[in-house]
Amino acid sequence: MGIETVGPPSAPPAPGWADEVRRLAKARDAVILAHNYQLPEIQDVADHVGDSLALSRIAASAPHREIVFCGVHFMAETAKILSPGKRVLIPDAGAGCSLADTIHVEELRTWKAAHPGAAVVAYVNTSAAVKAESDVCCTSSNAADVVASIPADTEILFLPDRHLGAHVQRVTGRENLRVWPGQCHVHEGIGGDVLRDAIAADPTADVLVHPECACATSALRLVADGGIAPERVRITSTGGMLDEARRTGARRVLVATETGMLHQLRRANPGTEFAPVSDRAVCPYMKMITPEKLLASLREGRDEITVDEGIAALARDAVERMIAIGSPVAGAE
């Protein structure tokens, strides 16, 4: 049996798409922000590209009336929390986050009730409701500093990422730190075996590992076992990865995080080859923001993000407490 079939190709952006996006943004007085894990064409059309917290801070300080956030839902929510007077749009409100989904505010309330007096440290990958129930937020770059700023005899509930939590525990040596068992669908897939295979395939390459990765512990073990020289491995946030990319002289760098990050790293340093540890590390929620949806978002003014003002105020406190701790925010998810 054989049947001829012709299907429509998945459309690349139409010619003039970028110009039209920029024209509409200007007409709306909107600033376009894109996360590091967005599609390359979205990153290229945006006014600013970065990690979620850096983008939220840009959002708060930008003079525009509107923010179009190309990222996942909690990121746009965080931007709204920090700029309550502005209209915040996301091109697809269905772009969730598998990590933020692992803790519901009711679950957090239960956890807190079982540990009265504990301080709650929430990674920025959480819903506004969860942030509002937390004492202080953190990013992957300042999580250890935030934890260290809490009195040593205070128990800490750290959420929701188990791998980042383990990393913080290692760095701070803190024993009274309890970690929520969440993980991100993308980073959980970059396990120790995947990292070992990638390093074995190119034993001379440098390695950058995001602390959310399931392989972060294995990376340290590899160093300890002499499997790879310590100076060739860095466990760092996406912001830290960019700093590394700018200064590295390595021929090739293996990157363990979402593959969208490669676009920024390559732009930062065209002389080094950046390759993914796993080419399956693609966040589907990030990729729900397509060129067509961005255009539709600007044309139709959707999807608008709203956050209950009471929740927003409490969540804002948690974020501002983090900023007050004073660590420069170079990277966050």
Partner 1 sequence: MTAPALSRPGVLTGPEPIVGSGHVVGVSPRLVAPAPVWQLRTDVLLVGSGVAALTLAAELAGSGLRVHLVTKGELGDGSTRWAQGGIARANTGPGFSTGSVAATDTPEDVERHVSDTLTAGAGLGDPRTVRQLATDGPGAVRRLADLGARFDLDADGRPALTREGGHSHARIVHAGGDATGAEVQRALQARLHTSLEADEITVAENAFLLDLLRGPDGAVRGAVVALLDATGSCRSVGIVHARATVLATGGLGQVFATTTNPAAVTGDGIAAALRAGAELADLEFVQFHPTVFAGAGPTDDGRHLLISEAVRGEGARIIDAGGVLVMAGAHPLADLAPRDVVSATMASAMAERGVRHLYLDARHLGEPVLDARFPTILARCRENGVDPLTQPIPVRPAAHYTCGGVRADLTGRTSLPGLFAIGEVACTGVHGANRLASNSLLEGLVAAHRLAGFLRGGGLPGSAARGRVTAPRDRAAGVLPGVRAGLALAMEDTAGVLRDPAGLDLLVRRLGEVPLADASEALPGRASWEATNLHTLMAAIAQAAVTRAESRGCHRRTDVDGVRSGWRRHLVATLADDGTGPATVRQEARP
Strands (DSSP E) contained in 153-304 are 156-159, 177-179, 206-209, 233-235, 252-256, 273-276
Tell me if 34 contacts partner 1 by CB under 8 A.
no
Closest distance to partner 1 from the beta carbon of 112 (Å): 9
Closest distance to partner 1 from the beta carbon of 288 (Å): 5
CB atoms closer than 10 angstroms to residue 80: 26
Looking at beta carbons only, is 142 or 297 nearer to partner 1? Answer: 297
Closest distance to partner 1 from the beta carbon of 232 (Å): 25
Closest distance to partner 1 from the beta carbon of 160 (Å): 9
Count of residues interacting with partner 1 (CB under 8 A): 45
The SS3 of residue 96 is coil
Closest distance to partner 1 from the beta carbon of 92 (Å): 9
Closest distance to partner 1 from the beta carbon of 163 (Å): 11
Q: Which residues contact 46 (CB under 8 A, 6 or more apart)?
A: 32, 33, 34, 38, 70
One of 232, 287, 302, 321 touching partner 1 (CB under 8 A)? 287
CB atoms closer than 10 angstroms to residue 233: 21
Looking at beta carbons only, is 113 or 224 nearer to partner 1? Answer: 113
Whether 33 contacts 58, CB under 8 Å? yes
Closest distance to partner 1 from the beta carbon of 221 (Å): 16
Looking at beta carbons only, is 26 or 280 nearer to partner 1? Answer: 280
Compute the distance between CA of residue 294 and CA of residue 307 in angstroms, rounded to an integer.
21
The tokens describing 29, both together, are 């007085």
Pattern 62-101, partner 1, x by CB under 8 A: --------------------------------xxx-x--x
Taking alpha carbons only, the member of 155, 70, 145 closest to residue 111 is 155
Tell me if 9 contacts partner 1 by CB under 8 A.
yes
Give the C-alpha distances (Å, rounded to integers) separating 291 from 61, 76, 158, 246, 259.
26, 18, 36, 28, 18
Tell me if 5 contacts partner 1 by CB under 8 A.
yes
One of 23, 26, 181, 251 touching partner 1 (CB under 8 A)? 181
Closest distance to partner 1 from the beta carbon of 257 (Å): 16
Give, as ranges, the residues between 111 and 130 that touch partner 1 (CB under 8 A). Answer: 111, 113-114
Residue 12: alpha-carbon gap to chain centroid: 25
CA 309, 310, 314: angle at the middle one, nearest 5?
110
Q: Which residues contact 142 (CB under 8 A, 6 or more apart)?
A: 322, 325, 327, 329, 332
Tell me if 260 contacts partner 1 by CB under 8 A.
no
Tell me if 37 contacts partner 1 by CB under 8 A.
no
One of 51, 145, 188, 258 touching partner 1 (CB under 8 A)? 188
DSSP symbol at 12: P
Tell me if 299 contacts partner 1 by CB under 8 A.
no
Q: Within 13 Å of residue 126, how many CA atoms lie on the same side as its CB? A: 33
Tell me if 304 contacts partner 1 by CB under 8 A.
no
Compute the distance between CA of residue 331 and CA of residue 32 in angstroms, rounded to an integer.
19
Q: Which residues bind partner 1 (CB under 8 A)?
A: 1-10, 39, 94-96, 98, 101-104, 106-111, 113-114, 178, 180-183, 185, 188, 191, 193, 214, 282-288, 290
